[in-house]
A and B are shown apart, each in its own frame.
Chain A
Amino acid sequence: MRWGPVWVCDMLLRRRDLLATTACLLLGAVSAKAAILHERLPWLPNTADPPQRATPGPWLFFNGAEGRAMEAIADRIIPPDPQTPGGKDAGCADFLDRQLAGPYGRAEGLYVRPPFMPGKTQQGPQSKDSPAEKYRKGLAALDHACRSKYAGKTFAELSDGDKDTVLKGLESGDLKLDGADGKAFMEQAVKDVQMGFFADPIYGGNRDMAAWKMIGYPGARYNYLDWIERHNERFPLPPVSITGRAEWTPRG
């Protein structure tokens, strides 16, 4: 028999428990409410706002053609080699697909009030288009340009050499796209593909932490107190993602 006072029933907590999925609570909406802080530090048990994981599966943002183009672009920005996968197999296009389908793609949180006027480069991007819209336009314009230049072939259908030629042309500005800023598109694509390559694998890229293994980065660790003064020595532990590594699962 167990006796003891039950804890204060806070109606707010009750409601949140009902909304909980797998014992994980998303604070987002709740923490946006104004609250009075008085007497004690706020505390909610069973509270976490872990990252939104990219779930494997079909494209959420790209259509088939866009996905193929993006995978091909990723594989030229980061070509495969015997040691390390390229951008495609590392999941960089998957990463970007999930990002464009989410708040980043929607330009959430950015200042999108008019008037929209072109400015100097130093004044930063002034386009009305969200990242998602820019990719739609850019990928469509890219395939269109390739079809014109390469006898009806889309970017993904070109040889590696031709792909590189196209991308270099975009980068230098020599190859102009119809309906999109090719130079800006290429610059952003390089950034996003490389970002997907190096981000935590929970976001869809850096599959199996391949990029981290390539460079020797131990991942989402937090305690190096025993290593700060070990100078010029190779850190021995394998990389770990926010959701762990294989060794976390007991074998047998």
Chain B
Amino acid sequence: MARKLPKKDVVIIGLGWTGSIMAHELTDAGLDVIAIERGPWRDAPTEFPPSYAQDELRYRIRHELFLRPDQTTFTFRNKMSETALPIRTWGAFMPPNGVGGGGVHWNAETWRFLPSDFVLRTHLTERYGASFLPDDMTIQDWGVTYDDLEPHYDAFEYLCGTSGTAGNLKGQIKDGGNPFEGPRSRPYPTPAQKQGYGHTLWAKAARELGYKPFPQPSGNMSQAYTNPLGLRMGPCTYCGFCEWFGCGNYSKASPQTTILPVLIRKSNFSARDNSEVTRINTDSSGKRATGVTFVDSQNQEWEQPADLVILAAYSMFNVQLLLLSKIGQPYDPTANTGVVGRNFTHQAMSSVDGFFDKSKFNFNPFIASGAIGMCIDEFNGDNFDHGPLGFVGGGYLGQVQTNGRPIETTPVPSGTPKWGAQWKKAVADYYLSSLKGGSIHASMYSYRDVYLDLDPTYKDRFGRPLMRMTIDFHDNELKAAAYLTDKYADIVKAMGAEKVDKSPRKGSYDVTKYQTTHLNGGAIMGADPKTSALNRYLQSWDVSNLFVLGASAFPQNAGYNPTGTVAALTFWAAAAIRNQYLKNPGPLVHA
């Protein structure tokens, strides 16, 4: 029997990036806010100090900072005709858990999407004609534009101290930056990070091939920074233990370094950790949320009533909670009805390894940060003519090698035996003179038969159905992957590599092969309640005092890391709540 707690103005489910930003905004507006986080409190001095944070086995291989599948996981199948089986150990992605969420252990690659990304269907139809797009591709316009979001991208970048070089300042293209980016109102708050030898040489080769390389926008500080809340960060020291790891010296943007120390001092804010929300409660009409039910670490059930519910968990868990709480019509891929679960996407990553003469090249791969690197955007989005190519979409190409951690990053040329004396020699020969992976960060567009729903068989520790992923790659993405991989390989070759090994994304979607934790969609935003779960302000069409933040709102994925856009949308929704909703609670958009 759930015990009822005193009512709050706002309950926020999850205290990661979106929960922290929204809590900061709503406490600023004077509201009484409680956040409920499934995982533990985390902070650098006690959870990832620079005395033992640099432990590859513990954090990169055993994933100690991440969600444990036995706490909850998903089931997976490629096609509707198959039986989904549980993801018993993480592979293709790695969900976060704890205060700070993925913001604790992300790379801090901080991108904006392209203006055309937000009006994708309109844009591609105009340029290539409707029949150019596959019939079962379900891409949509977002309902917001890049211009709507620009001030909010800016707000996030200044919150984080993002290090970069602007490429488009108020319409003026600037040398050294990304010439394809949407116009920004002001420069990055700090200059771009310094680059290593491999990154620099790659950029030189790219330039010589006629591309316009620029430094990756980085939430690892290029210099000490004080953000608008008065919080201080130190300069990144290029330790090479960034993504998968917490930052030990306050130099990676995270909720802990950019928001929480100020948020926690506010008398109108509190949070509970190690408490999992199991249900969003609604009244008898089903149109109004009354609060949430959560379970603490002692397995005690509690009810937290609130006037406004913000669902700010990791994207997939947003969708699962909506389904379990029976909010919104579940998507049926056969009938093509319903909205919750549709337009589920991931990323279509490819890689290229380059091997160089060790007597001439020493890349010191262990000196790097999570968002270091040089990129080109010529092959992202619709920045290039897809007409003759027979696919849509793309991604940035970047020599963004983040580490030389030896369990993970001791590449050998293809054809080398996987063990034995030759393997050992190849590892030693190439460790300092190889470039591993690169980032061929291709988009994944949405399809009718790629979706989320509840599994009929497998349950979590509360006995609730796990979320089921039905996902496979379509020809469009595989064609794009092959094309982009070839372009990337050309640059590595032009650098002077002895050998270039290409690994374009191929075949079926494989839950054992990691390719970012950028899972999106399932509770998408849009202009039409028949094909979206949320309106343009991320407000639920069905329950007007519920907002759902995160990449679950993306109608399709773009060729960039999502966090910048996730955060911008959160600031955008917060502004709508503060300026419109609070004055007049109710639906903000009448469809």
Q: Do any CB atoms of chain A lie under 8 A from CB atoms of chain B in the complex?
A: yes
Contact with A along B49-82 (1 / 0, CB 8 A): 1111111111001100000111001001110001
Interface pair A220/B54, CB less than 8 Å apart = yes
A225 to B269, CA, bound (A): 38
Q: Tell me whether B525 is interfacial, beta carbon within 8 Å.
A: no
Q: A109-B68, A215-B410 are in contact. Are A121 and B296 (CB under 8 A)?
A: no
Interface pair A32/B367, CB less than 8 Å apart = no
Chain A residues in 8 Å Cβ range of B462: none
Min CB gap B15→A, angstroms: 9
Stretch of A9-17, A41-49, A62-70, A175-183 that contacts chain B: A41-49
Chain A residues in 8 Å Cβ range of B511: 122-124
Q: Tell me whether B1 is interfacial, beta carbon within 8 Å.
A: no
Q: A120-B78, A199-B57 are in contact. Are A40 and B264 (CB under 8 A)?
A: yes
Chain A residues in 8 Å Cβ range of B83: 117, 119
Interface pair B457/A115, CB less than 8 Å apart = yes
Chain B residues in 8 Å Cβ range of A242: 51-52, 54-55
Q: Tell me whether A169 is interfacial, beta carbon within 8 Å.
A: no
Chain A residues in 8 Å Cβ range of B296: 34
Interface pair B41/A31, CB less than 8 Å apart = yes
Q: Tell me whether B404 is interfacial, beta carbon within 8 Å.
A: yes
Q: A117-B85, A123-B85 are in contact. Are A232 and B362 (CB under 8 A)?
A: yes
Chain B residues in 8 Å Cβ range of A39: 264-265, 267
Contact with A along B248-286 (1 / 0, CB 8 A): 110000000000110011010111111100000000000
Q: Tell me whether B396 is interfacial, beta carbon within 8 Å.
A: no
Chain A residues in 8 Å Cβ range of B275: 34
Q: Is the interface of A mostly helix, strand, loop or mixed?
A: loop
A50 to B78, CA, bound (A): 40
Which one of B47, B248, B249 has the highest number of Cβ atoms from chain A below 10 Å of its Cβ? B47
Chain B residues in 8 Å Cβ range of A38: 264, 269-271
Q: Tell me whether B99 is interfacial, beta carbon within 8 Å.
A: yes
Interface pair B273/A119, CB less than 8 Å apart = no
Interface pair B270/A81, CB less than 8 Å apart = no
User: Which B-chain residue is minimally distant from A205 (CB atoms)?
Assistant: B57
A108 to B62, CA, bound (A): 11
Min CB gap B278→A, angstroms: 14
Interface pair B512/A194, CB less than 8 Å apart = no
Q: Which of A44-84 contact B (CB under 8 A)?
A: 44, 47-51, 76-79, 81, 84
Min CB gap A98→B, angstroms: 11
Interface pair A124/B91, CB less than 8 Å apart = yes
Q: Tell me whether B459 is interfacial, beta carbon within 8 Å.
A: yes
Interface pair A215/B406, CB less than 8 Å apart = yes
Q: Tell me whether B123 is interfacial, beta carbon within 8 Å.
A: no
Q: Tell me whether B106 is interfacial, beta carbon within 8 Å.
A: no
Q: How large is the interface on B (under 10, 10 to 19, 20 to 34, 35 or more residues)?
A: 35 or more
Interface pair B61/A224, CB less than 8 Å apart = no
Min CB gap B448→A, angstroms: 20
Determine which of A37, A47, A110 lies in contact with B69 in the assembled complex, contact meaning CB atoms within 8 Å. Answer: A110
Q: A190-B419, A224-B239, A232-B362 are in contact. Are A51 and B194 (CB under 8 A)?
A: no
Interface pair B421/A194, CB less than 8 Å apart = no
Interface pair A76/B419, CB less than 8 Å apart = yes
Q: Tell me whether B131 is interfacial, beta carbon within 8 Å.
A: no
A42 to B421, CA, bound (A): 51
User: Which A-chain residue is minimally distant from B508 (CB atoms)?
Assistant: A122
Min CB gap A64→B, angstroms: 24
Interface pair A215/B88, CB less than 8 Å apart = no
Q: A41-B260, A111-B88, A123-B77 are in contact. Are A36 and B270 (CB under 8 A)?
A: yes
A216 to B73, CA, bound (A): 39
Interface pair A32/B274, CB less than 8 Å apart = yes
Count of residues in A whose CB is under 8 Å from the partner chain: 76
Interface pair A27/B46, CB less than 8 Å apart = yes
Q: A37-B99, A41-B261, A122-B511 are in contact. Are A104 and B62 (CB under 8 A)?
A: yes
Which one of B272, B296, B419 has the highest number of Cβ atoms from chain A below 10 Å of its Cβ? B419
Contact with B along A221-236 (1 / 0, CB 8 A): 1111101110111110
Determine which of B235, B270, B458 lies in contact with A37 in the assembled complex, contact meaning CB atoms within 8 Å. Answer: B270
Min CB gap B477→A, angstroms: 15
A125 to B87, CA, bound (A): 8
Interface pair B41/A37, CB less than 8 Å apart = yes
Q: A48-B52, A220-B55, A228-B367 are in contact. Are A77 and B265 (CB under 8 A)?
A: no
Interface pair B407/A198, CB less than 8 Å apart = yes
Q: A79-B421, A111-B73 are in contact. Are A50 and B51 (CB under 8 A)?
A: yes
Q: A33-B297, A113-B86, A211-B406 are in contact. Are A42 and B364 (CB under 8 A)?
A: no
Interface pair A34/B424, CB less than 8 Å apart = no
Min CB gap A244→B, angstroms: 10
Interface pair A42/B57, CB less than 8 Å apart = no
Min CB gap A90→B, angstroms: 11
A242 to B91, CA, bound (A): 27
Interface pair B200/A126, CB less than 8 Å apart = no
Min CB gap A23→B, angstroms: 14
Chain A residues in 8 Å Cβ range of B143: none
Interface pair B57/A195, CB less than 8 Å apart = yes
Interface pair B362/A37, CB less than 8 Å apart = no
Stretch of B151-159, B183-191, B426-434, B576-584 that contacts chain A: B426-434
Q: Tell me whether B238 is interfacial, beta carbon within 8 Å.
A: yes
Q: Which of A86-140 contact B (CB under 8 A)?
A: 104, 108-113, 115, 117, 119-126
Determine which of B41, B61, B249, B265 lies in contact with A222 in the assembled complex, contact meaning CB atoms within 8 Å. Answer: B249
Min CB gap B3→A, angstroms: 13
Interface pair A34/B46, CB less than 8 Å apart = no
A41 to B250, CA, bound (A): 15
Contact with B along A180-204 (1 / 0, CB 8 A): 0000000000100111001110010
A242 to B260, CA, bound (A): 29
Chain A residues in 8 Å Cβ range of B62: 104
Interface pair A112/B424, CB less than 8 Å apart = no
Chain A residues in 8 Å Cβ range of B78: 120, 122
Determine which of B55, B194, B269, B366 lies in contact with A229 in the assembled complex, contact meaning CB atoms within 8 Å. Answer: B194
A79 to B92, CA, bound (A): 32
Interface pair A235/B270, CB less than 8 Å apart = no
Q: Tell me whether A35 is interfacial, beta carbon within 8 Å.
A: yes
Q: Tell me whether B336 is interfacial, beta carbon within 8 Å.
A: no
Min CB gap B234→A, angstroms: 10
Which one of A104, A121, A216, A242 has the highest number of Cβ atoms from chain B below 10 Å of its Cβ? A216
A70 to B547, CA, bound (A): 55
Interface pair A37/B432, CB less than 8 Å apart = no
User: Which A-chain residue is minimally distant from B15 (CB atoms)?
Assistant: A37
Q: A39-B265, A111-B88, A228-B196 are in contact. Are A233 and B57 (CB under 8 A)?
A: no
Q: A32-B40, A223-B237 are in contact. Are A167 and B419 (CB under 8 A)?
A: yes
Q: Tell me whether B510 is interfacial, beta carbon within 8 Å.
A: yes
What are 15 of the A-B contact pairs (CB < 8 Å)? A36-B272, A37-B271, A37-B272, A37-B273, A40-B264, A42-B41, A119-B85, A122-B510, A123-B76, A212-B406, A215-B410, A220-B54, A222-B54, A224-B237, A233-B362
Q: A121-B510, A122-B511, A232-B197 are in contact. List 10 more A-B contacts (CB 8 A).
A: A31-B41, A37-B41, A39-B265, A41-B261, A47-B46, A222-B237, A222-B239, A225-B237, A231-B197, A234-B362
Top 6 nearest A-B pairs by Cβ distance?
A231-B197, A109-B68, A215-B431, A198-B406, A111-B69, A34-B274
